[in-house]
Amino acid sequence: MRHFLDTQDFSKAELLELIELTRRLKAADRDGVALKLLADASLGMIFEEPSTRTRVSFEVAMTELGGHALYLKPGEIHLGVRETIEDTARVLSRMVDILMARTLRHETLLGLAQAATVPVINGLTDYNHPTQVVCDVLTMIEHAPPDRRLEDLRVTFIGDATNVLSSLMHICTRMGMHFTHAAPARYQPPQAWLAIAEANIRASGGSLRITDDVTAAVADADYVYTDLWWWVGQEDQIPERRAAFMPRYQVTMDLLRRAPAHCKFMHCLPASRGVEVTDEVMDSPQSIIYDQAENRLHTEKGLLVWLLYPRLPRPAASLREEHARRLQSYLEEVRPRA
């Protein structure tokens, strides 16, 4: 059994297999073909904070695959409150086939996965957001210039060293792509994150550049990506962060024009329009943010099938019929018709 907690847990070949599976599921969806690959399976969705894309994409994905998704909203279960994280994981593992968790602390997710006896998917933590960046690479492949291989693509992330930045930097370097992060020195990634990316480059190729020169950072970019400048628990830092990033690191049309003409704009959403990016950029022809958001649905389908399909029991028709006969006989015996 494997969990999906970090793209670093998977090889480049495995990640490409997952993306190819996702593309095939998306093609079926485009043709109106509903493949019930996970019929009768259940997904438990644990949320410590509200979500739009993660909640909707996983629930719709599981439903369209023939299964059932259970939304365990913030404060609704005893996750670490009146019950240990480990006990919650063990109980839920007896009732559902797979778990997805969106937790405020990465340690909470690791505790769930360690105790669970079913696969656990990371729906976002304070450290990383792996489902988002698999979706991002899929979106980049779909919008890549026709003469570019995946390994040729150049991705520039502008903004704070967020959980999305760590995940995007790590998957891009894992795939042998060229990654740039542009931010003030105080908001650049820690050495531990850089060490992971550098190890990826030694194995897969590609490159990594960290800079405070945002103009140089976009000069050769195929994709310019940004995210919120603050996260949960950083609200008291908003004035300081605004001062550090605005206006130099705001993605504007003037900045985007300094990139190659084919460059596309990406954002994981939600966005603070007029803060890290202008409305003009978000609504421009170069923006692929809604293709990116839609691909969350297809990516979740790919993940669910990839992790769960091999584990589902497939009883023979004769066994199903035998159990049906036994139950029908018992019910007719104890509950005769009036």
Which residues are known to be catalytic?
102, 129, 132, 227, 268, 296
Give the contacts of 240 (CB within 8 A, at least 6 positions apart): none
- CA dist 232 and 129 (Å) reads 14
Give the contacts of 94 (CB within 8 A, at least 6 positions apart): 117
Q: Look at the chain and count its residues.
A: 338
- CA-to-CA dists, residue 114 to 83, 123, 125, 153, angstroms: 16, 16, 16, 36
Q: Which two tokens stand for residue 334?
A: 């104890």
Name the one residue in this structure whose structure tokens are 């390994």. Answer: 151
Residue 251, H or E segment: none
Give the contacts of 17 (CB within 8 A, at least 6 positions apart): 306
Q: What is the CA radius of gyration of the chain?
A: 22
Residue 110, H or E segment: helix 106-115
- CA dist 177 and 165 (Å) reads 15
Fill in the amino acid letter for 233.
G
Q: Reduce the DSSP state of residue 234 to 3 states and report it.
A: coil
Name the one residue in this structure whose structure tokens are 């150049």. Answer: 154
308 in Cβ contact with 62 (< 8 Å): no
78 in Cβ contact with 27 (< 8 Å): no
